[in-house]
Chains A and B, each alone.
Chain A
Amino acid sequence: MTQAQRVAAEISVLVPTGMLGAGVKREHIRYGIANGAHAIAADSGSTDSGPSYLARGVSKMNRESIKRDLEVLMDEAFRARIPLLIGTCGTSGTDSGVDWTRDIAIEVAADLGIEPKIACLYSEQSPADLVLKNQQGKITPLPPLGPATDTLLESCEHIVALMGPEPYIAAVQAGADIVLGGRTTDTAVLAAIPLLLGAGAAPSWHAAKVAECGGQCTVNPRMGGVLMRVGKDSFDIEPLSLENQCSPQSVSAHMLYESSDPYRLTEPGGVLEVLNADYRALNDRVTRVTGSKWQPMPYTMKLEGARGGDFQTIMFIGIEDPQVLAHLNEFHDIMLRTLTERVEATFAGEASSFDLSLRLYGWNGTSGRPVPASTPPPRDVGIMLVVTAPTQDLANRMAKACNPYFFHMPLRPGIELPSYAFPFSPAEIPRGQVYEFLLNHVVHTRDGFELIRTEWTDLALAAHQKTEHV
């Protein structure tokens, strides 16, 4: 970075998307760079889609979509000589997610004919290390969970700690062109460069919070990402599309999104407070924000942990029979009792535990709550049976055992057996494992580096060494 950039009054970060792999537009990236971006930063993960990705350590986004976005971002960032920072690689930010993304980046670099220096930041934790931390009293629960036990920590298949900005800052200072981080708070990866280049802490974190979902803070969230310009006491937020706007309303409303508290955000090493923040239109596209506060705190990192549990098999039928539809609550109860007795009788002694659930879509399938007595019958209902058992094989066999009753159970005994409408053959569908989030805790650390490992891949050096060996 040049000296001129270091003393710039405002530090600009280009946030191309809320999620790497969701699609980026080259003209947007060029607009941000032409308007002084000091870095490109993006998040590549979330717990939003559920525990499966962390428990398995695999990405939700496919390889092709990550590669397509990296091609544009790496190309433009390398040409402009600005760093590219990616947080929470591979959806959950496990070590495997970082390695997976690094391998894609190496492939992209070869395709582009560039030789960037790549830093990988790993934040996955071994249960054994955390058990030790727990014994030292360094792990505390966040509500609604209670204290972590050794068993709880050891039963997680993957545990990640949410990184702060410090390892990103150190990697860029050490010359990284690309930083690929494991699990990181959405904000830290965006706040890193402003913090490094001397912007104010409060506006750096607040701008990062506003920009964390890319265009979500704009009037038209589908029109691409944003450019955040951070100064000493304020920040400006601007969409990358000339047709889009960041209004005081769209920017302040984003503080509500997916957060339990719109005014206080706990981050590694501090708390962002925006109760007295002021959001003002600078022009018809740009909003300026002042008045946020940053309160430094002892360093903590949030932990996320998940594991795989039981297995499920599902079956689905459609029913239009008016007699059944007129008595759906009763039908549900009789069917559940019948299927439960059937499974208990057939698998006595074999199954230590199982669960059957019937969900009546078109009636109360989404909520599972009682339906008021006066509700008129629907025209059609879809019933999903969910069988949960300790193995997939057992769940499959239990579903098969339920099949004739699920298919033919009459509303009243003694009437001719009906047949309901199966949409598939075979009727039972092995759905796979149930994954669970187990941790909602923080670990107290010495600083932002204690639990983080940094590894380097210098493609220029690798190419040089290859040449020497020839």
Chain B
Amino acid sequence: MSKLGEVCRHIRSKNAGPFWVTIDLFFADEQLFRRYRDAPALGPELFERLFGADPRLVRRLPVDDLQVVKISFPRAQPQGWRGERDMHAGQQYVRLLDVEIG
């Protein structure tokens, strides 16, 4: 069982406008990308559980040429709300590092 942080060379998160977060998973090589690009562990439920995202709106877009899986989901609250802790969503990826990906 591998963790997501172990099979990616880089993971980043950022706002995509004030209402969405987008996460880019840069897999370490072609083989790992192919193995995990459709992994059920990266389904909408994960983003509901970790980020409070509406699972119906979670989008997953593999980018084969870059060996990247992009996952975009709506913020539970818009950027800058009174309880904001991460204005640019730049640290949101960290909670994905230990996800068991299979």
A355 touches B14 (CB 8 A): no
Among residues of B, the one whose C-beta sits closest to the C-beta of A312 is B82
Let me know if A440 and B61 touch, CB within 8 A. Answer: no
Shortest CB-to-CB span from A375 to chain B, Å, is: 13
How many chain B residues touch A (CB < 8 A): the figure is 34
Note all chain A residues with C-beta closer than 8 A to B95: 367, 369
Q: Taking A367-B85, A368-B85 as contacts, is the C-beta distance between A258 and B19 under 8 angstroms?
A: no
Known: A256-B63, A366-B91. A440 touches B81 (CB 8 A): no
Residues of B within 8 A of A144 (CB): 19, 54, 57, 74-75
Q: Which residues of B contact A322 (CB under 8 A)?
A: none
A434:B19 contact, CB within 8 angstroms: no
Within the complex, the shortest CB–CB distance from B79 to chain A, in Å, comes to 6
Interface set, chain B 65-91, CB cutoff 8 A to A: 65-66, 68, 70, 72, 74-75, 78-83, 85-88, 91
Residues of chain B with a CB closer than 8 A to A257's CB: 14
A48 within 8 A of B: yes
Tell me the number of A-to-B contacts counted with CB atoms below 8 Å: 95
Chain A residue nearest in CB terms to B19: A440
Interface of A: prevailing SS: loop
CB distance from B73 to the nearest CB of A (A): 9
Q: Which residues of A contact B65 (CB under 8 A)?
A: 252, 279
Which A359-405 residues sit within 8 Å CB-CB of chain B?
Answer: 359, 365-369, 386, 388
> How far apart are the CA atoms of A47 and B14 in the complex, in Å?
13
A47, A142, A144, A259 interface centre (most CB from chain B within 10 Å): A144
A355 with B87: CB separation less than 8 A: no
Given the known inter-chain contacts A256-B70, A260-B22, please indicate yes or no for A51 contacting B79, CB distance below 8 A: yes
**A47 CA to B61 CA in the complex, in Å?**
24
B41 within 8 A of A: no
Check: A149 CB closer than 8 A to any chain B CB: no
Q: Counting chain B CB atoms within 10 Å of each CB, which of A261, A310, A359 scores highest?
A: A261
A50, CB-defined interface residue at 8 Å: yes
Could you tell me if B80 and A260 are in contact, using CB atoms closer than 8 angstroms? no
Closest chain B residue to A359, Cβ basis:
B85
Contact of B18 among A252, A279, A366, A437 (CB under 8 A): A437
Q: Which residues of B contact A253 (CB under 8 A)?
A: 66, 68
CA distance A310 to B81 in the complex (A): 10
Q: Does A220 contact B (CB under 8 A)?
A: no
Chain A residues near B9 (CB-CB < 8 A): none
User: Assuming the A-B contacts A253-B66, A262-B63, are A434 and B82 also in contact, with contact meaning beta carbons closer than 8 angstroms in the complex?
Assistant: yes
- Which residue of B68, B80, B85 is within 8 Å of A50 (Cβ)? B80
A interface with B by C-beta (< 8 Å):
47-52, 142-145, 249, 252-253, 256-263, 279, 309-310, 312, 355, 357, 359, 365-369, 386, 388, 434-437, 440
